[in-house]
């Protein structure tokens, strides 16, 4: 994608370019690892329980390669902790019921719906989000392929599609367009960008497996 073309496709979402979206949804998301330890919005939003009934548990895990430890409400989903406590807003909350795939992240290399995963379940595990996929300024082949194939419109589903796409290739389920469609069926796109998504995953698979 040329610089000019990239400027042309700046979405009407506060001036974010598609490159920003592909790297993590928002600049805040990209910068957010530095925000560890800030007051949890989730915790702030659960003040109604009497003190005697409030319990927090300590959870320690690696997020995009960085060790972190948090005191959590044990009912917190991984998605809420990522977005509200760690500021990693790349994983999106679409349905919050495990049905759309917008919240897909990797736990120990396997794709999971973060909205259906309790944060306490990732204790001592490795969590990777869209913010942790690129190597510095070098996009992951899957991110680059989504740009090359223009595989998005609004971009809301895109972080989840990319994380699921990476897992799909690693699982060995990207052998044909039919197989990709089957193993990506848990990731919905309201914009109907499926032809580009399948083509991008096919392309990225060649690079990842090459």
Q: 94, 132, 165, 196: which one contacts ligand FES (CB under 6 A)?
A: 94
Q: Which is nearer to ligand FES, 33 or 113 (CB)?
A: 113
Distances (CA, A) of 117 to 78, 79, 205: 6, 8, 27
Q: Of all helices (H) and strands (E), which one includes residue 47? A: none
By CB under 6 A, is residue 17 in contact with ligand FES? no
> Rule CB under 6 A: is residue 29 a binding residue for ligand FES?
no
Site string for ligand FES, 179-208 (x = CB under 6 A): ----------xxx-x---------------
Q: For ligand FES, which stretch binds (CB under 6 A), given 30-38, 63-71, 96-104, 141-149? A: 96-104
Identify the residue among 72, 103, 119, 201 touching ligand FES (CB under 6 A).
103
Nearest approach in angstroms of CB 96 to ligand FES is 5
H or E element that contains 105: strand 104-107
CB 200 within 8 A of CB 151: yes
- Minimal distance in Å, beta carbon 92 to ligand FES? 7
Binding site for ligand FES (CB under 6 A): 93-96, 98-103, 113, 115, 152-158, 189-191, 193
């Amino acid at each position: 994608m040329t610089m000019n073309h990239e400027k042309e496709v700046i979405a009407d979402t506060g001036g974010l370019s598609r490159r920003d979206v592909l790297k993590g949804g928002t600049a805040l998301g990209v910068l957010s690892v530095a925000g560890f330890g800030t007051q949890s919005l989730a915790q702030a939003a659960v003040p109604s329980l009497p003190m005697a009934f409030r319990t927090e548990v300590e959870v320690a895990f690696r997020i995009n390669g960085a060790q972190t430890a948090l005191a959590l409400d044990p009912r917190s989903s991984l998605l809420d902790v990522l977005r509200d406590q760690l500021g990693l807003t790349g994983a999106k909350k679409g349905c919050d019921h495990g049905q759309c795939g917008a919240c897909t992240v990797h736990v120990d290399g396997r794709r999971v719906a973060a909205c259906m995963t309790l944060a306490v379940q990732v204790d001592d595990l490795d969590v990777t989000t869209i913010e942790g996929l690129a190597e510095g300024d070098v996009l992951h082949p899957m991110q680059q392929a989504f740009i090359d194939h223009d595989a998005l419109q609004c971009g809301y589903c895109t972080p989840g599609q990319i994380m699921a796409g990476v897992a799909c290739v690693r699982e060995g389920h990207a052998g044909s367009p039919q197989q990709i469609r089957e193993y990506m069926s848990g990731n919905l796109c309201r914009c109907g960008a499926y032809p580009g998504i399948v083509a991008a995953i096919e392309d990225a698979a060649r690079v990842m497996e090459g």
